[in-house]
Amino acid sequence: MTPQFSPRDTRLAAIGLNNDVDLLTLRHHTVVIAGVGTLGGEVVRHLAMLGVPMVLIDRGLVEPENLGTQGFAADQVGLPKVNARTRLAQQLNPDCHVVPYHMDIETLGLAALRHADLILCCLDSFAARLVLHEITWRLGIPLVDAAVDGSGERLYGRLNVYHPRQPETPCMLCSWDEAIFAQVMQERSVAGCPTWLEAAPGASDAPPTLAISSLASVVAGLQTVQAIRMLLGDTRGVGHEQIIDIDHTLFQDAVVRRAPHCRFDHRIWPLTAPPGDAWTQSVDDLFRHAEAALGGAVTLQVHRRLLATELLCSTCGSKRPIAKFVHAIPPAEMSCSCGGLAQPVGFSCLAAFNRSQADGFGHKTWQQLGLPADDVVSAHGANGSKAHFIISMHKGGN
């Protein structure tokens, strides 16, 4: 059946939209937009007009201070930003499929975005960028990363295109130096030592991005063009960094090379789904499955998560066992009977465990341990073999 296009559908040869096939191609891809503030909001608008299906991720709510720069309506204050943007996108194009997720990118399981065809990073912090970068690289999904100067003092923007599946292309960390890594920790450092003793302090709230909306429009426009090109198979932007300096009316394009001493290993992880899901599959079940797959004893490792095995009360010194990922320990479980706070002992936390180390919790399901939805557990065999398993939160599996 011939697809029916509405009069709004436009052929734009300048960005490779030459015919109906190109339009269909565009609309059969899913784009994830992480961050829908100053920059991301503009990208949502552009892609909505073209009817590109989108998934929006942002943890923020519309605040009064966003009204001057981020294009929200006054009656949207208090709404999750993703909901506000979804509403706008659907007003612009009722045929555009948009799914909002009001959540922190860091709570996402590694495989949660595995069905995306392209990921656009419009986040406002190095730390969140780093998390998203690792997710996209492990999944092998192209990433278009953009940023604007958020200090409000300069009209400055940046755009990078990464493609994990293109050999020898640089990753985000290839151009990071010690100063940026230090900035990541400073950006994330909790407000004073005492907050370390509070359960799940989380990341510090980033200040609002103070960038004029028109700067965001320029950078978002470039990001959208790159996104469309990537979706249509034009990868000319991969490995390039574009600097937009409106203060000096400069536009620069530079080629970025893979750094030999990059801290990232640039590996894409092929993912498989074992039987069951996080609610039914126990740690022991996965051990059995992995041992069968890899042919021998294995060690299981969870991406970016530490499993706490004991809590120590700093007031009375008492210890008690626990088996939960550190981020998932509920505050009630950290209360000690003496009135003090029991903290996970960092030295006893496990990032990886074999069968004997899992003796106390092997019977538990991943959901009981607090694994986030659609996270990945890697299995490493003694002979160097590896496998990466998606632990799906959807009952019944992948």
- Is residue 172 within 8 A of residue 130, CB to CB? The reply is yes
Closest residue by Cα to residue 50 from 74, 83, 16, 75: 16
Nearest to 390 by CA among 273, 281, 304: 273
**Number of chain positions touching another protein (CB under 8 A):** 49
Restricting to residues 347-376, name those near another protein by CB under 8 A. 347-349, 351-352
Q: Does 304 contact another protein by CB under 8 A? A: yes
Near another protein by CB under 8 A: residue from 76, 160, 378, 392: 378
Q: Work out which of 109, 239, 344, 370 binds another protein, going by CB under 8 A.
A: 344
Report in angstroms how near the CB of residue 39 gets to another protein at its nearest: 20
Instruction: Tell me phi and psi for residue 355, to 5 degrees.
Output: -60, -45
Q: Which tokens go with 157?
A: 């923007």
Map residue 218 onto helix, strand or coil: helix
* Cα distances (Å, whole numbers) of residue 313 to 192, 332, 336, 364: 20, 13, 7, 25
Contacting another protein within 237-296 (CB under 8 A): 262-265, 267
Round the CA-based radius of gyration of the chain to a whole number and report it: 23
Q: Under rule CB under 8 A, which residues in 162-181 are in contact with another protein?
A: 173, 178, 181
Q: At its nearest, how many Å lie between another protein and the CB of residue 16?
A: 35
Helix (H) or strand (E) holding 344: strand 342-344
36, 112, 127, 147: which one binds another protein (CB under 8 A): 127
Structure tokens at 61: 């709510």
> Which two tokens mark 63?
């605040």
CB of 189 to another protein, least distance (A): 5
- Given candidates 64, 68, 295, 317, which one binds another protein under the rule CB under 8 A? 317
Task: Write the DSSP symbol of residue 206.
Answer: P
Decide if residue 124 touches another protein (CB under 8 A): no
Sign of torsion over alpha carbons 354, 356, 361, 363: positive
Nearer to another protein, 200 or 250 (CB): 200
CB-nearer residue toward another protein: 186 or 214 = 186
Contacting another protein within 96-115 (CB under 8 A): 106
Which sign, positive or negative, has the C-alpha torsion 222, 225, 231, 237? negative
Number of residues written out for the chain: 398
Name the amino acid, one letter, at 337: S
How many angstroms separate the CA atoms of 352 and 105, rounded? 23
Structure tokens at 263: 């801290």
Among 49, 212, 345, 373, binds another protein (CB under 8 A): 345
Is residue 299 part of the contact set for another protein (CB under 8 A)? yes
Looking at residues 176 to 235 of the shown chain, list those that interact with another protein (rule: CB under 8 A): 178, 181-182, 184-186, 188-190, 192-194, 196-197, 201-204
Longest dimension (CA), the chain: 74
Residue with Cβ nearer another protein (179 or 332) = 179
CB of 120 to another protein, least distance (A): 20
Task: List residues binding another protein (CB under 8 A).
Answer: 106, 127-128, 130-131, 134, 173, 178, 181-182, 184-186, 188-190, 192-194, 196-197, 201-204, 262-265, 267, 299, 301, 304, 306, 312, 314, 317, 326, 343-349, 351-352, 378, 380
